[in-house]
Structure 1
Amino acid sequence: MALSLNGPHGHLKGKIGNLVFYLLNGQPVVRTIGDPGKPSINQKGNQQAMSVTMKVFKSMKSFINSSFELEARGTVRNPFNLAISYNKKNALKGAYPNLRIDYSKIVLSYGDLPLANDLKMVKTETGVLISWGLSNQDFPALNNDMVMLMLHHPLDHRSTTVLNACRRDAGQHFIPLSNTELNEPIEAYICFKSANGKKISDSAYLGNLNGEPDTPEEESQKKKYAVLKTRFDQIELDYLQQLNDNGGNPVDSKAFRNLEKEYQVLKHKLEHLPRKPV
């Protein structure tokens, strides 16, 4: 049973059939409950898109809560939900069931504060040095802007976040990293926020270090290929040895014929394995 808290024209609170009515951030919301039935391909694609996006962005939450805070003001949505909504639509590549994040298209902030030119990222022996062009000649008021930086580590879905790295006029900032982190894939981002917190720039993608990690599907295919290749190498060695011992002619035995058949089957599988590793 649902209650109408503000009379016959007010919003409902409670359950009617398979519908549940409630308030979310001051807004009336209704959702269905129960078994929705077998999902369609489009629904599965949408579910995977949300799963992939959430897996990446949950480690970026502290950055997003600051960078999308201005965008969320005056709305019933929170910064994290805004970031998920935009990037789920615009920062994915591939097709179900092989959707993955396109890190170069991730947006972590919107705003009209000027960004910076000459953005650079350099890997050193002990960390990452990020630098940017200075704007003090054309826009001296921007010198007090604070710099926000984030390094995302895709292998373990973790982010190194520096919300107040330095002032814009510093021109660069060094982020120390462990040797392990320095040799794993890294995706880097930057944005600028005014000293009074009332303005922010668009975010910028600084680039990738050490290449992108494999997707779960690619990892699975590589493991499958490795197992198949190991078995094929064993069978091939035995098959060729028996041929050689018999003067290059097939051995007239059931065991050899079974061996030859397995050799041919494995060879065909290796040649036609989907997503065969390069």
Structure 2
Amino acid sequence: MALASNGPQGHLNGKVGNLVFYMLNGQPVVRLIGRKGKPSRLQLANYQAMEVTMKLLNRMGSFIKLGYGLQAKGTVQNAHNLATSYHKKEALQGEYPNISIDYSKVMLSRGVMPETKDLKIEKVAGGLEISWDPTHSSELQHNDSVMVMICTPETNNDREYLNIARRSEGKCFIPMYEEALNQQIEPYISFISADGERISDSVYLGNLNGLGENKTEKAAKEKYQQVKARFDQVEGNYLGQLKENHGSKPNSKAFKYLEKEYKVLKNQLVHLPGKPG
């Protein structure tokens, strides 16, 4: 049952049939509920795109809160909503079931502060050194804070540095053990004013050490190879029996089981992630 707390002309709150009415960020919302049918390939692609996006953003929550907070200010959106919308549309690559992050298109902050010049990153003894032009102006203040995000997709042991240095310092150092320093690294930098009222677009500093594989990707590839090996075995047997019967299907229970397994495995290979290439 839904209630109209503000009278018959007010917004409903609750359930009516297969509709649910509620308030979200001060706005009246209604959504449909009910049993879902078998999802289409397009729906499955949308589910995976959202899952990949959420896994990325959940690893950098504090950075996103600052990076999109000013953009969300005065709207019914929040920082996470805005970041989700951008990354789901702009920062994904590949097709279902192999959708992944394009780290070169990740944007951890969006704002009006001009981009800082001469941004560089390099591996040095014991860690990473990031440098920039420390020159300040009316738009780039000497006391602007430097924000750095180090993404490590292979281990998901990411690091957020929300106030690692001041613009005037011109560089910062991030200590890392050798093993971590030699894995896939995706680094980003942003600048935010001391009063928190202005922020720059984040800048991708470029991939270090090439592309690696995280635990999920490795497990997906292993699973795919296992199913593929079984499918190749079943397919050979299935096609062999068809050939022996000149293209006709044998009328036996054993062949029916074989055909069922053949179709199930073939369908699994279409939808399983981890496919080579």
TM-score bucket of the superposed structures, by smaller chain: 0.7 to 0.9
Please state whether the residue corresponding to 1:15 is helix, strand or coil: strand
Aligned amino acid, residue 135 of structure 2: S
What is residue 202 of structure 2 aligned with on the other side? 203
In structure 2, the partner of 1:275 is 276
Q: Which residue of 2 aligns with 1:147?
A: 146
- Check conservation: 1:56, 1:154, Cα contact below 8 A: no
Q: Which runs of 5+ in 2 are unaligned?
A: 230-274
Please give the secondary structure, in 2, of the residue aligned with 1:39: coil
Whether contact under 8 Å (1:45, 1:96) holds in the other structure is yes
CA drift at 1:201: 0.7
**Is 1:25–1:76's contact at 8 Å kept on the other side of the alignment?**
yes
* Contact 2:113–2:140 under 8 Å retained in 1: no
For 2:133 and 2:43, the matched residues in 1 are separated by 45
- RMSD over aligned Cα atoms: 2.4
Give CA-to-partner distance per residue, 1:114-152, whole Å, 9 cap, x none. Answer: 12111111112311111112323x558521211111101
Distance 1:101 1:12 in 2: 40
Q: How far apart are the structure 1 equivalents of 2:42 and 2:17?
A: 26
Identical pairs, percent: 51
Q: Once the 2 structures are TM-superposed, how far is the Cα of residue 227 of structure 1 from its aligned partner?
A: 11
Q: Give SS of 2:9's match.
A: coil
Matches within 5 A, 1:5-154: 5-136=5-136, 139=138, 142-154=141-153
Tell me, in whole angstroms, the C-alpha distance in 1 between the residues paired with 2:44 and 2:222.
25
Q: What's the CA shift string for 1:181-212, capped at 9, x where partnerless?
A: 11211110001111111111111001111212
Distance of 2:132 and 2:179 partners within structure 1: 26
Q: How far is 1:221 from its partner?
A: 3.9
CA distance in 2, matches of 1:83, 1:167: 25
Q: CA deviation at 1:155?
A: 1.6
Give CA deviations for 1:58-92 in whole Å, capped at 9, x if unaligned: 01001111111101111122211211111110000
| Bigger mean CA deviation after superposition, 85-94 or 141-150 | 141-150
Structure 1 segments, 4+ long, off by >2 Å, are 138-141, 213-229
Count of aligned pairs between the two proteins? 231
Q: Measure the CA separation in 2 of the matches of 1:85 and 1:224.
A: 31
Question: 1:206-237: per-residue Cα shift (whole Å, max 9, x none)?
Answer: 111121223756764467669999xxxxxxxx
Residues 217/34 of structure 1: CA separation in 2 closer, same or farther (3 Å cut):
same
* 1:14-41 alpha-carbon deviations (Å, 9 max, x no partner): 1011111111121111222232211111
> Which ranges in structure 1 are unaligned for 5 or more consecutive residues?
230-273
